[in-house]
Amino acid sequence: MTAAPAFSVIVPTYRRPDRLAACLRALAALDYPRDRFEVIVVDDGGGASLDGRPAGLDVTLHAQPHAGPALARNTGAARARGEYLAFTDDDCAPDAGWLRGLAEHAAAGADQLIGGYTVNALADNPYSSATQLLIDYLYEWQAGRDSDEGFFASNNLAAPAALFRARGGFDTSFPLAAGEDRELCYRWVRSGGRLVYAARAVVRHAHHLTLRTFWRQHVNYGRGAQRFHRRRVGSRGAGKPATFYTNLIAFPLTRARGSRRLTLTALLALTQLATATGYWRERLRV
């Protein structure tokens, strides 16, 4: 019988001790052989500790000066013992079957970057709901399209450790949590690899947003998009057809009910305004 793939779960963290504790509790409850995974927490200059960590969980803590999540993930990957790396964030709680869902696809081929299914854990927060709805739309849009600009979000992502290191890991010139996952996926495909979706690898994302932080997050996504286009596909990028935007704005009509549909539609339109603002702000800085 083939042994389950060995995973190193990498969790970057920055000043969210309560969320980190919840993440570690979820990882301790994984339905996966305990001797086949380790957890590496990388503190990005926020003074994290492992006090109160769950008993029996193989977890280590590494600290670095504050430099952003891309470098934090690479720091964890450099210390990983597993043959596969599995990335999630400190505000995420993987379901019990998360690693099994990733392992199903890891066994199918070596040169695969595997992205799982992320669920918004704050259903009553319209800003968090709209942000996850945008990711869901992007995943559906890219499915079945022959493009090297598909991506998986870095809070639910797995890769063969040796290939991840050989291809340079995350690009640390992306200082924000914005665009670094897209750039990695682009470079992975350009190097001959594949992006594979693992619907059974579920993570629940509890990122509380207000109108102010929602706007700032999507401005940062725009900044990351401009940085990505400038570094990888030219200063402007290929652009999207008009149907991309009309379908995006209509997306909540099929995913929500009642007045919530109108709220989410308005917020998805606002994401595009914020992204455009960040994109042009970053472009004008050059």
- List pLDDT tens digits, range 102-152: 999 887 667 899 999 999 999 999 999 999 999 999 998 887 666 666 889
> How far is C-alpha 265 from the chain's CA centre?
23
Task: State the chain's mean pLDDT as an integer.
Answer: 90
Is residue 235 one of the residues assigned to a domain? no
Q: What is the number of structural domains in the chain?
A: 1
Return the amino acid letter for 143: A
pLDDT for the residue 173: 87
Is residue 26 one of the residues assigned to a domain? yes
Is residue 48 one of the residues assigned to a domain? yes
* Residue 72 belongs to domain spanning: 7-209
Confidence grade of residue 282 (pLDDT, cut at 50, 70, 90): confident
The CATH number given to whatever domain includes residue 32 is: 3.90.550.10
Is residue 240 one of the residues assigned to a domain? no
Of residues 37 and 179, more confidence is placed in 37
Mean pLDDT on 10-30: 96
Tens-digit pLDDT profile for residues 138-197: 998 887 666 666 889 999 999 999 999 999 999 998 877 788 999 999 999 999 999 999
Is residue 275 one of the residues assigned to a domain? no
20 vs 26: CA distance, rounded Å = 10
48 vs 61: CA distance, rounded Å = 8
Q: Which of 41-50, 63-72, 76-85, 255-264 has the weakest average pLDDT?
A: 255-264
Q: Please say if the pLDDT value at position 235 is more than 50.
A: no
Q: Which of 51-55, 64-68, 238-242 has the weakest average pLDDT?
A: 238-242
Is residue 67 one of the residues assigned to a domain? yes
Under a CB-based contact definition with an 8 Å cutoff, are residues 217 and 106 in contact?
no
95 vs 72: CA distance, rounded Å = 23
pLDDT for the residue 144: 62
Under a CB-based contact definition with an 8 Å cutoff, are residues 165 and 78 in contact?
yes
Is residue 270 one of the residues assigned to a domain? no
The reply to whether the predicted model has a pTM over 0.85 is yes
pLDDT for the residue 1: 47
DSSP collapsed to 3 states, the chain: CCCCCCEEEEEEECCCHHHHHHHHHHHHCCCCCHHHEEEEEEEECCCCCCCCCCCCCCEEEEEECCCCHHHHHHHHHHCCCCCEEEECCCCEEECCCHHHHHHHHHCCCCCEEEEEEEEECCCCCHHHHHHHHHHHHHHHHHCCCCCCCCCCCCCCEEEEHHHHHHCCCCCCCCCCCCCHHHHHHHHHHHCCCEEEEEEEEEEEECCCCCHHHHHHHHHHHHHHHHHHHHHHHCCCCCCCCHHHHHHHHHHHHHCCCCHHHHHHHHHHHHHHHHHHHHHHHHHHHC
Mean pLDDT on 11-23: 95
Is residue 41 one of the residues assigned to a domain? yes
246 vs 244: CA distance, rounded Å = 6
